[in-house]
A and B are shown apart, each in its own frame.
Chain A
Amino acid sequence: EAQVTQNPRYLITVTGKKLTVTCSQNMNHEYMSWYRQDPGLGLRQIYYSMNVEVTDKGDVPEGYKVSRKEKRNFPLILESPSPNQTSLYFCASSFQGQFGGELFFGEGSRLTVL
């Protein structure tokens, strides 16, 4: 089954404790992206990757890191989480990126930073 898998789905952590949210897709997509969704602000892009070893900042990259060492994986790293990073996070992938392909989304990771 074609899917984007995120883990963990739910996480409560404390300020400053490094964490990684994993994202994996099984569709051989070149393009992968991370979004955060907050009430009243909609979906905002954090980072995206057009292919292996190619990553770019989105609209809200501060406080986040990503890597794309393999085509299927695109982890989101919070080196020192802060309460303002409490949010619902989505990973998405696409075969053709923004031009023609539809984005496939994971089920989301709800992160709470205390």
Chain B
Amino acid sequence: SQQGEEDPQALSIQEGENATMNCSYKTSINNLQWYRQNSGRGLVHLILIRSNEREKHSGRLRVTLDTSKKSSSLLITASRAADTASYFCATPDSGNTPLVFGKGTRLSVIA
């Protein structure tokens, strides 16, 4: 099954800096979702972007989607120590199948 692949695997930044994570996928999708996971906890949905959308904002989060390149990016602006977590992208495997998750980007925000 296809799997979104996040890049980089790990990212360490200073508080106040912006963090950018990327996700690439293999086949056409209906939507792409981003989730956050604090260490050992359940995943929390952040944002969903549909295939006909190019950009979406939610608070300090900005997600872009480039279907021609089969890629998405998640930007967290003015990062805080509390943003330290793993971030996952998730896509349907094909038009009628459940979400498949990537392996995630581990973000560390240093105060």
Contact = CB atoms under 8 A, between A and B. Distances in A.
Interface stretch (B17-25, B70-78, B91-99): B91-99
A84 interface: no
B42 A59 contact: no
Interface stretch (A63-71, A75-83, A104-112): A104-112
Interface residues of A, number: 27
B88 A43 contact: yes
A105 B98 contact: no
Nearest to B97: A98
A103 B41 contact: no
B98 A48 contact: yes
Interface residues of B, number: 25
Interface of B: 1, 3, 30-31, 33, 35, 40-45, 48, 88, 90, 92, 96-104
A106 B43 CA distance: 8
Nearest to B47: A102
B42 A107 contact: yes
B45 A103 contact: yes
